[in-house]
Structure 1
Amino acid sequence: MKRSAPPPRGSISPPAVKRKIDSTTTNKAVASFFKPASQKEPEKLTWRIVANSLIVGRYDAPNVPPQSRTLPVKIAAFDLDDTIIMPNIGRKWARSATSWRWFDTSVPGRLKQLYDEGYIVVVLSNQGNISLKDNAKSLQKDTASLGNLKSQIAAVFKQLDFPISFYAATAQDRYRKPRTGMWEEMLEDYDLHVGGAVDLANSFYIGDAAGREKTDKRKKDHATSDRDLAANIGINFRTPEEFFRNEITEPYDHVFEPRRYLEIASAKSASKDGDVTAPFKKNSPQELVIFCGSPGAGKSTFFWDVLQPLGYERVNQDILKTIIRMRTLKLENTGLILPVNTMCLSDAYALRHLRALPSTTMRSEL
């Protein structure tokens, strides 16, 4: 019987090599982890959410000397996208700490100069694509979109490194530009909500949504919300090209500017002696006055203050409870039983029949 060959003394395969894995955790991070909370440096950038809608970030730089401000203070407010920063070349907007570049190389120095001159510097931005809903499948409190936005703002503010605040409206509510909710929240945060605390004449807002037409260098502006925000607040407005690059101001005329309309109307209504004529007169014994305006526009107030003292009666959907009853009253009773009526028309069908009513003068108040 043959003996089996003895096993080889050495392994055929080369011996396993012990590989050293480099740790990404630094000694500083380990020391910070075990350091008591009372000994840790406070975070420079703190966040909070207002009314589950508005994102507020406030950056404090302890090493920067505090401003010596006296009332009234000047405020320099800016939009974020395509105003302070813009996407990296060849990329669309993607929120991260590295997916951006300055709109112009002068941006950091110009913003720091404003702070040194005593301005409060803030960023007011619409961010409708940011979700504030908690993800039930994840232990993280922030959604991915919110986390990416925070990372980007942290990177931007770290390079600026002076006290500055960020406000982002995520819903279609009072905070969204051109509404003034973000501005009002900022005034509360800086204790500037009392009258006369802000130097409106020397404050300004810079943004790219200015209603400009397309040029060889730029696409047509997507909106006028930045320009309208400045008008609603009562401060000056400039585009980022005008402010950072000293480009010539492009001509622009609002399609409808309430302040200008009121000034013109006031000038027309004033007589030579300086007396103001009545805002509304009763021109005929039987009239139909149509109010058309969004909720809260002042339709009811105008009726109680102006029309009721003149003998007008009021009809609206709130009183009639249903649209069907309101249409019936429009077609059958308007101008026949009630001496004078005020109502909101809901469709063109009813309007055609109202025009056919005899001896009824129609007037509209927009």
Structure 2
Amino acid sequence: MKRAAPINDNKPISPPPTKRKIQSTTSSKAVANFFKPASQKDPDKLSWRVVGNSLIIGRYGPSGPLPQGRTTPVKIAAFDLDDTIVSPTGSKWARGAESWMWWDPSVPSRLRSLHDQGYLVTIFSNQGNISLRDGAKKGPKGQQDTASFNNLKAQLGSVLAQLDLPISFYGATTQDRYRKPRTGMWDELLEDYDLQSDGAVDLSQSFYVGDAAGRERSDKRSKDHATSDRDLAANIGISFKTPEEFFLGAQPELYKHVLEPKQWLKTERPSVNNNGHAPASFRKKHKQELVIACGSPGSGKSTYFWHVLEPQGFKRINQDILKSRDRCLRVARDFLAAGESVAVETRKNWIKLAQEFGIPIRCIRFTTPARLCEHNDAVRALNPQLMNPEGRAMLPGIAFRSFLQRLQEPKLDEGFEDITTVDFVFQGSPEQQAVWSKYWVSKFVT
């Protein structure tokens, strides 16, 4: 037997420790609804769908073209999600019902106020960390959602339930037309609410709020990672505010666009003509020539070929089309053997081939800046009907970084007869120019 401890009557008696009270996020209404028969249960307020295995759309509130009582023209208040409406409580990209907090305590009341003022409130968010393609296991009810998608739904379900307002969420998961600053999510919103006709949206009263605004680092925050939120608003034609400006009343800060496409429409950039460089207006000099085009992907080599070289009889050798270097060499050899002039896009192997046939070698150096090349590539890939006759896919960022790392400026002593320097000049119809002038790159890699 254990001996009982002696009792000390003089020692104060401590009360038992109190248990920590955990506050439930489940409302009494939700509990009551849970115990109702299925036929009497309230329908879910939040519905989800996926467009093109790419765009996630969540809609909280009533279905239908427009919330009841709202007439056109409609004022739209659009927001980014992360670091605008919510902030993470742990890892930056963690998702879950309890992984977030309001970016500022005023957020819920401001959003409710906008709704009361007749605004259609929506969220546009780039969600590149959400996978819709992995784990394509099929259960008894069809294909199951991925874990990352389920986590996002849990977080948005919690956020929107606390707001309890009619709100739509649009999340772009891939590098396609939906990703900001491209306007695909805005276009989808207009279609969902039947607002595609002229005058259906009051653009002068609509706005977008987001943190990707191109601001430099301050004592209160780090440098903005991009300008995609500011650029989206500009592409749509609505005003823009940062979260600090909208929710806290802060003064606008200086910002800088990473690339301003319209500047390249206004500025004449004459090509140089020195150190052995030929005049920028390239003209064929000999019956048979081999021309090497030196420039980054997206620098304008294809357009230059169609407008300048092809009319002069040059045959194009392009590895993106022919798919392998060996095939390019075989096709070029056949053209040269038939007496044709050839235009190629790399220097390796081609100088030796031209020397083998005893024909002059000329070089065209395209000077388009790296970020403008990224822009051109995105415009081309995302506008297949208007700007992409060859059906080119968008290139990964490493293609542009790799070119810069490997670039060695061409020199006459390599065997070139001359070097023509070509600066970028946009060429296209007014419709193509209007599309090209918008912002297309979410985040530059160069």
Both proteins in one fold, TM over 0.5: yes
1:299, CA displacement in angstroms? 5.6
Q: Which moved more, 1:283-292 or 1:140-149?
A: 283-292
Alignment match, 2:237: 234
| Count of residues paired in the alignment | 321
Q: Distance in 2 between matches of 1:361 and 1:246?
A: 54
Q: Corresponding residue for 2:110?
A: 110
Matched AA of 1:81 = D
Closer/same/farther in 2, CA of residues 224 and 265 from structure 1, 3 Å limit:
same
| Distance (whole Å) between structure 1 residues aligned to residue 179 and residue 304 of structure 2 | 28
SS at structure 1 position matched to 2:257: coil
Change (3 A) 1:27 1:189: closer
The answer as to whether partners of 2:351 and 2:361 remain within 8 angstroms in 1 is no
1:89-100 to 2 correspondences below 5 Å: 92-100=92-100
Partner secondary structure for residue 167 of structure 1 = strand
Question: Following the alignment from structure 1 to structure 2, what is the Cα–Cα distance between the partners of residues 67 and 342?
Answer: 62
Write out aligned runs for 1:15-54 (5 A).
Answer: 28-33=33-38, 35=39, 40-54=41-55
Tell me by how many angstroms 1:323 deviates. 3.2
Structure-2 change in CA distance of 1:353 and 1:32 (3 Å): farther
Within the candidate set 258, 261, 275, 1:258 is matched to 261
Q: Name the structure 1 match of 2:430.
A: none
Contact 2:366 2:422 in 1 (8 A): no
Query: CA contact under 8 A between 2:412 and 2:419: conserved in structure 1?
Result: no
Secondary structure of 1:154's aligned partner? helix
Structure 1 residues 94 and 321, CA, compared in 2 at 3 Å: closer, same or farther? closer
1:106-149 CA-to-partner distances (Å, cap 9, x unmatched) read: 22222223233333221111222223234649779233322221
Check if 1:215 corresponds to 2:189. no
1:150 equivalent in alignment to 2:153:
yes
Q: CA deviation at 1:359?
A: 4.0
Q: Distance in 1 between matches of 2:43 and 2:417?
A: 76
Tell me by how many angstroms 1:226 deviates.
1.9
Q: Aligned partners of 1:289, 1:136: CA distance in 2, in Å?
A: 47
Which stretch of the first structure deviates more once superposed, 226-235 or 163-172?
Answer: 226-235
Partner of 2:195, secondary structure, is coil
Q: What is the match of residue 308 of structure 2?
A: 307
Larger radius of gyration: 1
Question: What is the distance in 2 between the residues matched to 1:74 and 1:331?
Answer: 64
**What is the 5 A alignment of 1:48-63?**
48-61=49-62
Identity percentage of aligned residues: 49
Q: 1:332 to 1:121 in 2, by over 3 A?
A: same
Q: Which amino acid aligns with 1:357?
A: F
1:181 corresponds to: 184
> Is the Cα–Cα contact under 8 Å of residues 55 and 168 in structure 1 kept in the other structure?
yes
State the alpha-carbon separation in 1 of the partners of residues 206 and 282 from structure 2. Answer: 46
Q: Is the 8 A contact 1:74 1:119 kept in 2?
A: yes
Match of 1:365 among 408, 424, 428: 424
SS at match of 2:122: strand
Verify the 8 A CA contact 2:49 2:57 in the aligned structure 1: yes
Judge conservation of contact 2:67–2:166 (CA < 8 Å) in 1.
Answer: no
Deviations 1:85-126 (A, max 9, x none): 1134x6755322233222122222222232333332211112
- Sort the Cα spacing of 1:155 and 1:258 in 2 relative to 1 into closer, same or farther, 3 A: same
Q: Structure 1 residues 65 and 178 mapped into 2: Cα distance closer, same or farther (>3 Å)?
A: closer
Distance in 1, Cα, partners of 2:67 & 2:316: 62
- Is 1:289–1:362's contact at 8 Å kept on the other side of the alignment? no
2: CA distance between counterparts of 1:136 and 1:289?
47
Q: Secondary structure at the match of 2:267?
A: helix
- Check if 1:282 corresponds to 2:281: yes
Normalised TM-score (structure 2): 0.59
CA shift in 2, pair 1:348/1:303, >3 Å: same
SS at 1:258 equivalent: coil
What stretches of structure 2 of length at least 5 have no aligned partner? 1-27, 271-278, 286-290, 330-343, 368-402, 426-446
Q: Output aligned runs, 1:67-86, within 5 Å.
A: 67-71=69-73, 73-86=74-87
- SS of 1:365's equivalent in the other structure is coil
- SS in structure 1 of the partner of residue 110 of structure 2: helix
Q: Which amino acid aligns with 1:124?
A: F
Asked if 2 retains the 8 angstrom alpha-carbon contact of 1:212 and 1:220, the reply is yes
RMSD: 4.1
CA distance in 2, matches of 1:202, 1:46: 28
